[in-house]
Chain A
């Protein structure tokens, strides 16, 4: 029997017209971008409930991306903890190897409808860049991906993948030369080329409507999980766990469950070398509210409001901001945000690989590491769903280097 307790907040009513989740979100951009955001919002509003658009999207998700992704019971790994049963939502099995493609397929269709001919994107680890370049290749559009010069060094394989797919990878040398600077540069490009260019933001951050739009494209993860759990077990999971950088895989899993208050929700941030070292990327755990990249949200910034550099072993979590909906969910207490260190994530990476034969992305390994802490505190008839947001092939050089192995 399904027991559904409705919470006092109706989560499907957020954000408001201006893109606000409580005090977070909104549109904090220069006037030069406001009209472009308005145009995007109108186009998105028209497509969002259009049966033709949704049918095309569903067909692409099924035949191009490979959805639905399986919900896999990691039985051997669960047994280790003697507690809750852990299920993995296998976003790593998607085309291009991560959840990012759910969003780029959707935004690509929207760009096509809007008559845009050029796609731009920012990328950190390169997963969103690859997913954008993939969609651009398929749609026959030009694609420019902005990537921090530091990240280009760290992620050579993804850079080459993007170039193979026909994208231009533009190194960003300003600021800290990482993801946040790539985002700045993509915004600058968009301001100068609004007429023919569509900006594909890869996470649930940025000015409205991006946090809403990306959430809707990623919510397929949570909708499938819900159906799969109900079909197999006749009940909802007891807990959801996902890693949070910008937070798109997490909100994708969480959102369809927000109104089910009996489902506990955990977002896992990157504690890097440890929260007390100051070298981490745990925005919600250790930051405070501010405004960056078009939205009000939690940020890692100094006493003067300057954004500070972050650290995580996982490039995809190495970002000083976070999606505004997560900021709000934290404040109202609907989701708990925790952090695990590089070392804990690496342990989970190795364990899952050896015990289940699945090499997880370092980002997803953070979620796995927290699930490993959570499971023993729960009963063996309870269930945790972890979003396995990507596969770890891209990370093998990083892991090998940390283990002192040269490939």
Chain B
């Protein structure tokens, strides 16, 4: 059993919903990424999505685009992201880490070299935004063989056939993009999300995460009532950017903010450890 499966089993036992924060590796500075990962865990993160910066992040809104640009300007690369994972694993062997990014850096490194290196570094999942299930088997098979979970996106426009197709290849969890748009967009319709999740559940037993448009304790709590996991990206990344000049303060502010979200989710989902 891999770290991800173990984590979701523990969560199910206590009725806790997974909080999955996203940060871009190397933003605002590569030295601050590993300490920030630990802060996120202390604030109640169950799984972390670590963004691999790419020069052309076509599915991301301005907040994450700028974070990628900042990280790339500091020389961040897929290889260096894997070094950061290795450094994080020296003191945390429990928290699953998912790399989230675009295909070209992986293509450039070569699938076999990437999978071997990611596995050795302690990566638990890989979410490649621009790799839909149709084009994914080559990479997904290699990941699964190394016990790394290929994570796939589902969208409001995904047909039931497409959901089935993704569910077949996916491991770990499925990530439902809760609105039409890029990361960091505004509106979130909980009723629509609930309805779509019900349809997705008819196709799979995998945990369902929801992301895009979740930005505060209120929206996180609402989603925690209907999904297995809540992903928070842009709202967190923009908070980090606010305090980028003062790393200590940044971790304190982000930690406090994420704890409040954790608290709201736990109350909303009736988590047993809290009640």
Please report A residues at the B interface, Cβ cutoff 8 Å: 18, 26-32, 34-36, 174-175, 180-181, 183-184, 187-188, 191-194, 289-294, 296, 299, 301, 303-308
Contacts and interface: CB of A to CB of B under 8 A. Distances in A.
B154 to A, nearest CB: 6
B174 to A, nearest CB: 10
B55 A290 contact: no
Given A28-B130, A30-B130, A188 B158 contact: no
B58 A188 contact: yes
Contacts of B104: 290-292, 299, 301, 305-307
B180 A191 contact: yes
Nearest to B61: A188
Given A291-B104, A301-B104, A305-B104, A191 B59 contact: yes
Given A31-B158, A192-B182, A305-B107, A294 B56 contact: no
A337 B130 CA distance: 28
Given A304-B79, A307-B55, A31 B134 contact: no
Given A184-B58, A193-B180, A299-B104, 4 more contacts: A32-B157, A188-B58, A289-B107, A307-B104
B205 interface: no
Contacts of A29: 58, 130, 132
B132 to A, nearest CB: 5
B162 A305 contact: no
Contact of A30 (B59, B106, B135, B166): B59
A174 B129 CA distance: 19
Interface in B128-182: 129-132, 134-135, 152-155, 157-159, 162, 166, 177, 180-182
Q: Which 8 A-B pairs have the closest CB atoms?
A: A305-B108, A305-B105, A35-B157, A304-B77, A192-B181, A31-B153, A30-B59, A32-B155
Chain A's interface: helix, strand, loop or mixed, by majority? Answer: mixed
Contact of B134 (A18, A188, A194, A296): A18
A384 to B, nearest CB: 37
A148 to B, nearest CB: 13
A93 B72 CA distance: 44
Contact of A294 (B79, B130, B159, B185): B130
A175 B157 contact: no
Given A188-B182, A294-B130, A304 B78 contact: yes
Contacts of A292: 56, 104
Given A28-B130, A34-B158, A192-B180, A175 B56 contact: yes
Contacts of A175: 55-56, 65, 69
A46 B133 CA distance: 25
Contacts, number: 124
B199 interface: no
Contacts of B162: 31, 34-35
A194 B130 contact: no
Given A194-B180, A305-B78, A306-B77, A31 B105 contact: no
B131 A28 contact: yes
Nearest to A307: B55
B241 interface: no
A173 to B, nearest CB: 9
B62 interface: yes
Contacts of A180: 56
B197 to A, nearest CB: 15
A193 B185 CA distance: 12
A305 B135 CA distance: 18
Given A291-B103, A301-B108, A31 B180 contact: no
Interface string B88-128: 00000000000000111111110000000000000000000
Nearest to B76: A304
Contacts of A308: 55
Interface string B62-84: 10010001001000011100000
With most chain B CB atoms within 10 A of its CB, the pick from A292, A294, A299, A301 is: A292
A184 to B, nearest CB: 4
A86 to B, nearest CB: 38
Contacts of B77: 304, 306
B27 to A, nearest CB: 15
With most chain A CB atoms within 10 A of its CB, the pick from B55, B77, B155, B180 is: B55
Contacts of A181: 56
20 contacts: A29-B130, A29-B132, A30-B58, A31-B154, A31-B166, A32-B180, A34-B155, A34-B162, A35-B158, A36-B157, A175-B69, A187-B58, A187-B59, A191-B182, A290-B107, A291-B130, A293-B58, A294-B130, A296-B107, A303-B108
B247 interface: no
A341 B71 CA distance: 34
A296 B134 CA distance: 13
Contact of B56 (A27, A304, A307): A307
A124 B61 CA distance: 21
A284 B67 CA distance: 31
A194 B155 CA distance: 12
Nearest to A34: B132
B65 to A, nearest CB: 5
B22 interface: no
A306 B72 contact: yes
A192 B155 CA distance: 12
